[in-house]
Amino acid sequence: MESGHHDLLTTTEAAALLRSSRQHVVDLCERGILPFVRVGTHRRLDRADVLALLRPELTRDQLKSLWLHRAVAGRLVADPDKVLADAAENLRRLKRVHPDGMAAMWLERWRQVLDTGVEAVLEVLTSRSRDAAELRQNSPFAGVLPESTRQAVLAAFAERWRLERMA
């Protein structure tokens, strides 16, 4: 591999690290779960992004967001049409507020995920990958959870966090 690209992997190399099929890696790329760059017609993946799927270390805020988005995932499987419609409307509103910059980039990534369908959305909502954690920081799912559910999830998370720190 060229100098300076030693941390880029082929989809085959990524599949070997993940102990999965090459097609699974391609699917993760296409669903927006695993970031990649194109080198000619080939996908190349950053080793750190692939390893993050195996051993993601999340901050407290990222974990709290993951818990909330797992609750959103429960709502999504119960009523996919309504939840996706709400997310799409939120996304349109957020794109008007943030037409440029990094927020706009993450919102465009959300649009791609939403356009891919329920399975791709569920993957982002529940994944511990670094990329999914970043996407959740710019989530179009505000208002999907009833406030009572949101508060219950936050209380459960706070208690779990406290217990794990005491152990």
- Model pLDDT for residues 130-165, shown as the tens digit of each residue: 889 999 999 999 999 999 999 999 999 999 988 888
How many CA atoms lie less than 13 Å away from 9 in the CB half-sphere? 21
**Percent of the chain at pLDDT above 70?**
95
Average pLDDT over the chain, rounded to an integer: 91
Write down the pTM of the prediction. 0.69
> Does the pLDDT value for residue 5 go beyond 80?
no
Query: Amino acid identity, residue 56?
Result: P
**Cβ pair 81, 155 in contact under 8 A:** no
39 phi/psi in degrees, rounded to 5:
-120, 100
